Amino acid sequence: MTLSVGEVRNSIEQGGLRLPHHIAILLDGNGRWALHRGLTRPQGHRAGGETAKRCTRNCHALGIQALTLFGFSTENWNRPMEEVQTLIALLEEYLYDIAWELVENNVQLRLSGRIAQMPSRIHQAIDFALQKTAECTGMVLNLAINYGAKAEMVDSANAALVAREKGTNSFHLDQEDFRRFLYAPNLSFPDLLIRTSGEQRVSNFLLWQIEDAYYHITPTLWPDFDLQEIWQAILAFQHRCVQPPRESQPAEEG
């Protein structure tokens, strides 16, 4: 049975269910999805881009406050050059396509990762999408691009050292101080982590931020991830969640 957003919302409201504040998703399975259908890997990645748009719409409609999608990892550079170029081209196209829809839905775009190291061709698309959504105040869509959790921690440590040299930070760092130097310091930490394709590993994704997140692993390949999958993840979250949300972590500030 195909669910509608209205039906899911009604079930949430009638059941008094608590939504996760921030959902983070490891998008996996584009290549296998294409292989199973006799398609090319680029076609699988394109289908995955459409799923990312659909997932963003659904999460926004359900009232999720923040959504992080792992779009391009630092490890992706190790793939064949032709595939990397395809991923970059699709990401550029995706940013232009989704910007207007985000504005219509009052969704603000954020980026996490070593953005400066991305090819110059994509920076215009990044600037366009960020500028278009800068005044949006609703759900935050955080795209992890050229992202790796180990790289983030190294970059954060280096940023803290720079701040110390400038006299804006003390020599001693505690966890809250360190958080200020993360890529998205004002974004709440995920309380639900979803991985598609059945893989049971976190793949260098948000290692600092997911310490308290609940994991939901689905065998569904990313291009087939739909509203039903989100609903199942929310139900699993309800069954396993015993602690109230941390009020000290707003969805987004400023």
For the chain, the domains span 14-148+189-240
Which entry of 10, 58, 76, 169 is annotated as an active-site residue? Answer: 76
Distance CA 35, CA 47 (A): 13
DSSP state of 111: E
**Separation CA 234–CA 237 (nearest Å):** 5
Closest CA to 212 of 1, 8, 39, 21: 21
Q: In angstroms, what CA-CA distances link 99 with 90, 106, 109, 128, 234?
A: 14, 10, 8, 8, 27
CA 69 from chain centre, in angstroms, equals 2
Q: Phi and psi of 72, rounded to 5°?
A: -155, 120
Q: What is the DSSP letter of 70?
A: E
Per-residue pLDDT of the chain (254 residues; tens, 9 = 90+): 678 999 998 988 888 888 999 999 999 999 999 999 999 999 999 999 999 999 999 999 999 999 999 999 999 999 999 999 999 999 999 999 999 999 999 999 999 999 999 998 899 999 999 999 999 999 999 999 999 999 999 999 999 888 888 876 556 778 888 999 999 999 999 999 999 999 999 999 999 999 999 999 999 999 999 999 999 999 999 888 755 555 444 445 44
Q: What is the dihedral of CA 145, 150, 30, 103, to 10 degrees?
A: -30
The residues near 61 (Cβ < 8 Å, ≥ 6 apart) are: 5, 9
Residue reference for tokens 């719409």: 57
Spatial separation of the C-alpha atoms in residues 240 and 209, rounded to whole Å: 19
**pTM for the full model?**
0.91
Hey, what are 19's tokens? 């939504």
Fold of 14-148+189-240: Undecaprenyl pyrophosphate synthetase (3.40.1180)
- Report d(CA 149, CA 137) in Å as an integer: 27
Cβ atoms of 145 and 72 within 8 Å: the answer is: yes
Whether the CB-CB separation of 125 and 95 falls below 8 Å is answered with yes
Please list, in sequence order, all residues whose beta carbon lies within 8 angstroms of the beta carbon of residue 174, skipping any fewer than 6 positions away: none
Question: Is 28 a catalytic site residue?
Answer: yes
